Amino acid sequence: MQAFLGQIVTRNGIHLSGDIDYSGDSFASYPNGLAAVFGPDAIPQAGLIQIFLFVGFLELGVMKDVTGEAEFPGDFRNGALDFGWDTFDEDTKLTKRAVELNNGRAAMMGILGLMVHEKLNEIGMVADLPIIGALQ
């Protein structure tokens, strides 16, 4: 979901303020989409390695069931965050988990569609999307 929303927000011209590195490059100075990773003006390799290591740290060190209280795979509350989850009956919990899975699947299809449209532009097939217009 963050990938899809990140595409929509940055293509709308909204970027973080400030500099992304000590040499003075701003967040807005890098291109949007796949060009930020693979293009000629892409984020430097050291920056991509930092992102990769940070995500790895989150996966291995933070996002795990520490207490052994997980009710299902992906339950990382660890006894700290509840927000009323324990007050729901089993059918409601199952419904809410199904809705969340379907939202995740829809977001994956959304980002895949945006990536396909971005590649179509490279071969001359400009796709004018209704919300964000033609990708560049």
The gap between the terminal CA atoms of the chain, to the nearest Å, is 21
Q: Is the pLDDT of residue 38 over 80?
A: yes
Half-sphere exposure of 64 (CA within 13 A, CB side): 8
Cα–Cα separations (whole angstroms), residue 40 to 44, 53, 117, 131: 10, 23, 19, 27
pLDDT band for position 106 (cuts 50, 70, 90)? very high
Q: What is the pLDDT of residue 72?
A: 83
Average confidence (pLDDT) over 18-46: 88
Write out the E strands in the chain.
Answer: 128-129, 133-134
Q: Tokens 């299809």 — which residue?
A: 109
Average confidence (pLDDT) over 81-101: 90
Compute the mean pLDDT over every residue in the chain, rounded to the nearest whole number.
85
Q: Tokens 């324990």 — which residue?
A: 86
pLDDT band for position 136 (cuts 50, 70, 90)? low
The model's pTM is: 0.69
DSSP 19: B
